[in-house]
Chain A
């Protein structure tokens, strides 16, 4: 479980996040949703330590990450897997080397064990036979799947996904969403997904946090999403025609 308390972040004189608190539960896909520019990605980066919040704390299973010393931070980071918006695969390495990278750096596995683990993870995300391809030779959806394989290769306790289906076609988006959800349940990890895609929200949002202009306005499950009573959330949810027609019926 991940707990955040009173997270605030400003850039210059612009307040991006103000006093956000909440919990992300283990074994569930926890979603942070909101329109573009509401601070979702900044919140995610504050949680994983890429940004230092101005105020507040982040707790990974009661361990205070924000105030932890370097060793503790390193230890917690080794339990984190993250899928970035564009995949963030290393251009100079092929698919196999990309997925193996965390094992090379963070473990003392022998080469055979590493290959076995890499192949298992690539198989798990539905990618076989692409081990030797460079990131530039595979599609956007495949890059995301390689990113997921790299994120789970070191058996993380926490999985973070930043806009996992941005730039993907609807079918591939659903595949990626389902994969994230399956992995969360299969490995019983705490998953936090940042998205503004309503298909994802309805499909995999077991616990949802809605951000609006840098503040948390609502928290709940996808069952309660359509009758939250929060105007800003309704405006966000019922933006597209399909959702509006559902509301009408």
Chain B
């Protein structure tokens, strides 16, 4: 509970004694490049394979002649939109971006760079962390959209190449009984996960004490805590919104 209290106070500190809008604008753009653009390839690669694997495994399990083959595409769509793109990618996002945030801030802490900012009269938490959270909120939903498209494309390519289902069946299945609310749900989840991962990782890194070993521990803690928070919130969001 003490840790949670410190986390809430830390979040509150991001919004006091802020610098100029221009400062945050530039920092947020830099973070968007770090968080978003530099993660796109990894997200595309992982998603494409996940979509492909989901297609093959679903095809292998749907052996009944009474189940039409387009259902494979329908399963791929629902899994991608509801879980794979927002939630599984959040685990990867925590591993790549969250650990980097915690490690970067932890290193800044132990090398007194954060102290240097404070001495200059700058609110270091706001200056360093707020742009990261804003950038994560902007970029993660976009990454989830890219991820969803790639997963569905991956399924399409593999389904066609292996003959599990024809392109026409796949497209029909993707469009069949499509519920647009699931996209809203996936984006709501992605905003929530982006906030949790970026804020928890920053919190863990910002309060690192000690040396290189502790920076490593902070990074690990950031990833594990973020993933637990993501999974818990995933359950509650599903319970509340579906």
Is A246 at the interface (CB under 8 A from chain B)? no
Q: Give bound CA distance, A61 to B17, whole Å.
A: 24
Are B120 and A105 in contact, CB atoms less than 8 angstroms apart? yes
- A73 vs B121: C-alpha distance when bound (angstroms): 8
B residues 96-146 with Cβ under 8 Å of A? 107-108, 111-113, 115-116, 118-122
B121 touching A106 by the CB < 8 A rule?
Answer: yes
Give chain A nearest CB distance to B114 CB in angstroms: 9
Scan residues 74-123 of chain A and give those whose CB is less than 8 A from a CB of chain B.
Answer: 74, 77-78, 80, 82, 84-86, 88-91, 101-102, 104-106
Cβ contacts under 8 Å, A82 to chain B: 116, 119
| Cα separation A50 to B116 with both chains bound (whole Å) | 9
B23 contacts the other chain (CB 8 A): yes
- B121 & A77 in contact (Cβ 8 Å cutoff): yes
Cβ-defined contact, A90 with B113, below 8 A: yes
Q: Given A77-B121, A78-B121, are A88 and B115 also a contact pair (CB < 8 Å)?
A: yes
Give Cα distance in the complex from A90 to B112, angstroms: 10
CB distance from B229 to the nearest CB of A (A): 28
B78 interface hit (Cβ, 8 Å): no
Residues from chain B with Cβ under 8 Å of A106 in the complex: 120-121
Q: How large is the interface on B (under 10, 10 to 19, 20 to 34, 35 or more residues)?
A: 10 to 19
List, in ascending order, chain B residues with CB within 8 A of A160's CB.
Answer: 119
Check A77 against B120 for contact (C-beta < 8 Å).
yes
Q: Mark A8-23, 1 if CB is under 8 A from B, else 0.
A: 0000000000000000
How far, in whole Å, are A105 and B20 apart by their CA atoms in the complex?
8
User: Quick check: is A48 within 8 A (CB to CB) of the other chain?
Assistant: yes
Please state if A74 and B121 are interface contacts (CB–CB under 8 Å).
Answer: yes
Tell me if B120 and A48 are in contact (CB < 8 A): no
Tell me, yes or no, whether A70 is within 8 Å of chain B by CB: yes
Which residue of A84, A89, A90, A102 contacts B115 across the interface (Cβ within 8 Å)? A84
Please tell me if the beta carbons of B119 and A77 are within 8 angstroms of each other in the complex: yes
Q: Report chain B residues within 8 Å CB of A86.
A: 111-112
- Nearest chain B CB to A82 CB, angstrom units: 5
Contact B118 A50 (CB under 8 A): yes
CB atoms of B120 and A50 under 8 A apart: no
- Chain B residues with a Cβ under 8 A of chain A: 17, 19, 23, 107-108, 111-113, 115-116, 118-122
A-B contacts, 29 of them at CB < 8 A, read: A48-B119, A49-B118, A50-B118, A50-B119, A70-B17, A73-B121, A74-B121, A77-B119, A77-B120, A78-B120, A78-B121, A80-B119, A80-B120, A84-B112, A84-B115, A86-B112, A88-B116, A90-B108, A90-B113, A91-B108, A91-B111, A101-B120, A104-B23, A105-B19, A105-B23, A105-B120, A105-B122, A106-B120, A106-B121
Residues on A close to B: CB < 8 A? Answer: 45, 48-50, 70, 73-74, 77-78, 80, 82, 84-86, 88-91, 101-102, 104-106, 160
